[in-house]
Amino acid sequence: MPAKLRSEHIYYGIAALVVLAPLVFFPSLISLYRLPKITFINLFVTVLLWLWLFLLLQEREEKVMFPLAIPLTFYLGLSALSLVNAINPFEGIFALFHKVTYIFLFWLVVNQIGTMKKIKNILFCSTFSAYVVSLIGIYQVFGGEIPGLVNLASPGSTFGNKNMAAQFILLTLPFPYLFLLSTSDRQKEILFGIAAAVVSTYLLYTGTRAAWAGAIISSLTLLMLFRLKLSKAEFEKLKGAVARKKLSLLGIMIFMLAMNSIPPYVVRGWAVAGAASPVSRFATIAEIDRDTSFLNRLAMSANTFEMFKDHPLLG
């Protein structure tokens, strides 16, 4: 008899998606470098949704939740209306169905990842993929090349562009630190410390100022929320965890400092040797009013808001 479909099968599929999606790339692709990941995610999520439907038909008494259903449906309705004035309706339809995919993925995760153990396992999968992406990026900085992996803006790792890679790393950056602070196993502490050091170093190597600023602002925001929302006992417990792991955190800082100061003197042709240091790169934020890249993006944002102002409903 065929094996019965279980909720765990979908859970394993979500875990596989978290691990594989950041690592997917199409060999020798020099443009549309996001397309392989988008295609993979859409196909994988579609399969998971069909499995979920079969599971619901199989387990008719299972309770299903659709959080934020009203605002999300309203958002999709407005997005569909905006297709009326779309210059390229085919691209608009593609973008709309891309939104639909992620909304159903959100509902799928809410219904299938319901325990703290499963949540931690998914975060661990994200940490693993971020670690691999970071290793590849650091390898590229040291002059290494992955066969078939074309980088439009190195070190882009499997994302092809360092800015896109930095967005992913910024999203997953808290996870290795979370595991580092929460574990009491010395061996796991070392492993998560290594992962945190590698991921943090790669984030610096990307040279993406927006990601750096995002990391700083989000860290300060989390610290403020912890201070305001946690009870005094919980906050003291958090401070105690940081104090116990101070040697590991110091080791991470030393590793990051060494990886940004030593290689230019010992590695010939080091990719970051001729670039500005993270400190001087970050200092250019003070001169952002003369940064052509920032000014171009600011102009695009202003034009977008003007379009929304002229067509608030239909885009």
Q: How many domains does the chain have?
A: 3
114, 138, 167 - which closes a domain: 114
∠ CA(140), CA(170), CA(97), 5° rounding? 100
Q: Same structural domain for residues 214 and 107?
A: no
Determine the Cα–Cα distance for residues 27 and 156; give it in Å rounded to an integer: 14
**Residue 6, token pair as written in the block:** 């279980």
Close Cβ partners of 25 (under 8 Å, ≥ 6 residues apart): 33, 36, 37, 148, 149, 158, 160
Residue 191 lies in a domain: yes
What's the confidence (pLDDT) of residue 273?
Answer: 45
Preceding amide of 155 cis, omega within 30: yes
Q: Same structural domain for residues 300 and 247?
A: no
Q: Same structural domain for residues 268 and 286?
A: no
Could you tell me if 109 and 45 are in contact, meaning their C-beta atoms sit under 8 angstroms apart? no
Tell me the one-letter amino acid at 271: A
Q: Same structural domain for residues 175 and 186?
A: yes
What's the confidence (pLDDT) of residue 60?
Answer: 74
∠ CA(246), CA(204), CA(302), 5° rounding? 125
Determine the Cα–Cα distance for residues 107 and 55; give it in Å rounded to an integer: 15
Q: Residue 225: which domain range?
A: 151-275
Q: Same structural domain for residues 38 and 54?
A: yes
Closest among 311, 181, 162 to 244, alpha carbons compared: 181
Determine the Cα–Cα distance for residues 291 and 231; give it in Å rounded to an integer: 44
Compute how many other C-beta atoms are within 10 angstroms of the C-beta atom of residue 221: 10
Determine the Cα–Cα distance for residues 274 and 86; give it in Å rounded to an integer: 44
Please give the chain's pLDDT, 315 residues, in tens: 345 678 889 999 999 999 999 999 888 777 778 889 999 999 999 999 999 999 888 877 678 899 999 999 999 998 888 888 778 888 889 889 989 999 999 999 999 998 999 999 999 999 999 999 999 999 988 888 888 888 777 788 999 889 999 999 999 999 999 999 999 999 999 999 999 999 999 999 998 888 998 999 999 999 899 888 888 888 888 899 899 999 999 999 999 999 988 887 777 766 554 555 666 666 666 666 676 777 787 788 888 788 777 766 665
Q: What is the dihedral of CA 53, 59, 62, 65, to 10 degrees?
A: 0
